Amino acid sequence: MAGHEIGDAPGPGVTVAPVAPTFSFELWPPRSPTAKEALQVHLARLVASRPEFISVTYGANGSSRDGSLGVLRYLLENTDVSPMAHFTAVGSTFADASQLLREFLDAGITSFLALRGDPPVGVLEEELVLGDFRSASELVQLIHGVQREREPFVTHEVRGFPGAKRLGSGRKVTIAVAAFPNGHPLSRSRAQDIDTLLAKEAAGANLAITQLFFEADDYLQLVDDARAAGVTMPILPGIQPVLSEQRLHRVLELSGEAMPTELLHALRTSADPASVGIAHAAALSRAVLAGGAPGIHLYTSNRSEAPLAILDDVGLLTSREIPA
């Protein structure tokens, strides 16, 4: 993951070339043949914008396993974009999760978002069966373990000695984890959220991606608190364009975030709520980038119009090859 970070300061007399902020997308596996067809069109446009990576969500208890793997494979085999697989721990045994991880790694996926996982539909948080895992940190450790076991070392050519090989330690995978600017609904305090993030980094995570949020300060304060506690991995802000009042209610239901009343009012009273949602997400993106965010991760809802409009607005859309 390229990108500068809050608090990165060059030493005296050292010139550091500015690193452009990155952008990336999240999408979910299509749930019907019609949705699959529609996704092809939007995916082609998202891919053409040259994102850093595209992450693909994973349904509760592996319910979207084949669909997720299908989209990840499509990205690997047909595009230059790096796919990131969301991988959830809920309800899984270590043995099952290891087996599934091997399948993902065998398919060529080397980038994961390790998550505890949402409860399946109809299951309350308090009824959730976590299986062998007590937290996402344990999943982070397992992913590194399975990768080390598959590929304990790699060989390098030795320059000037044809045929000679040098052993190096095995390829590292990218393991992202979730972070919560306004706290995880289960968390009792800010300190618990930061401790959870520290534990994830200690377990081997090398990137955090945040839950959606509606005020730049929510993200910037989380980053400040995380840095003060010793978290060093980049923390990418997750930004969701919300294009209607109905969608806002659904997004809050899923995320547990508090109602952003100004945005609600603007969506409710505008004749063009989609433009309101795009402008809000673009302003949020500009503010977090100005505050030092290493990039933006856009929740696409499997569409391309809003994410590309936001990137254009903030000046990150440089590709001139976006299909109509």
Residues 130-169 that bind ligand FAD (CB under 6 A): 135-136
- Verify binding: residue 206, ligand FAD, rule CB under 6 A: no
What is the closest distance, in whole angstroms, from the C-beta atom of residue 227 to ligand FAD in the complex? 18
Q: Which of 54, 115, 146, 314 binds ligand FAD (CB under 6 A)?
A: 115
Cβ closer to ligand FAD: 169 or 192? 192
CA distances (Å), origin 83, targets 52, 163, 310, 313: 9, 34, 21, 25
CA distances (Å), origin 298, targets 88, 150, 168, 246, 305: 20, 32, 36, 19, 12
Q: Are 100 and 89 in contact (CB under 8 A)?
A: no
DSSP-assigned beta bridge partners for residue 177 = 114, 208
Segment interacting with ligand FAD (CB under 6 A) among 3-11, 95-103, 166-174, 178-186? 178-186
Q: Are 220 and 182 in contact (CB under 8 A)?
A: no
- Verify binding: residue 182, ligand FAD, rule CB under 6 A: no
Residues 33-72 that bind ligand FAD (CB under 6 A): 57-58, 60
- Verify binding: residue 252, ligand FAD, rule CB under 6 A: no
- Verify binding: residue 309, ligand FAD, rule CB under 6 A: no
Phi and psi based region of residue 173 (left: phi greater than 0; alpha: psi -120 to 50; beta: remaining): beta
- Verify binding: residue 29, ligand FAD, rule CB under 6 A: no
Backbone Cα Rg of the chain: 20
User: Could you give the count of Cα atoms lying within 13 Å of 211 in the half-sphere of its Cβ?
Assistant: 21
Q: Choosing from 26, 138, 245, 257, which is the catalytic residue?
A: 26
DSSP-assigned beta bridge partners for residue 53 = 82
5 noted as active-site residue: no
Rounded-to-integer distance, Cα 137 and Cα 265, Å: 39
What is the closest distance, in whole angstroms, from the C-beta atom of residue 217 to ligand FAD in the complex? 18
- Verify binding: residue 301, ligand FAD, rule CB under 6 A: no
Residues 6+ apart with CB under 8 A from 132: 92, 93, 94, 97, 138
- Verify binding: residue 118, ligand FAD, rule CB under 6 A: yes
Number of residues that bind ligand FAD (CB under 6 A): 22
Q: Which of 190, 218, 194 is nearest to 208 (CA)?
A: 194
What is the closest distance, in whole angstroms, from the C-beta atom of residue 99 to ligand FAD in the complex? 19
Q: Which of 44, 48, 186, 317 binds ligand FAD (CB under 6 A)?
A: 186
Q: Which of 29, 62, 91, 117 binds ligand FAD (CB under 6 A)?
A: 117
Residues that bind ligand FAD (CB under 6 A): 57-58, 60, 86, 88, 113, 115-118, 135-136, 178, 184, 186-187, 192-193, 196, 209, 211, 238
Instruction: Give the residue numbers annotated as catalytic, written as ranges.
Output: 26
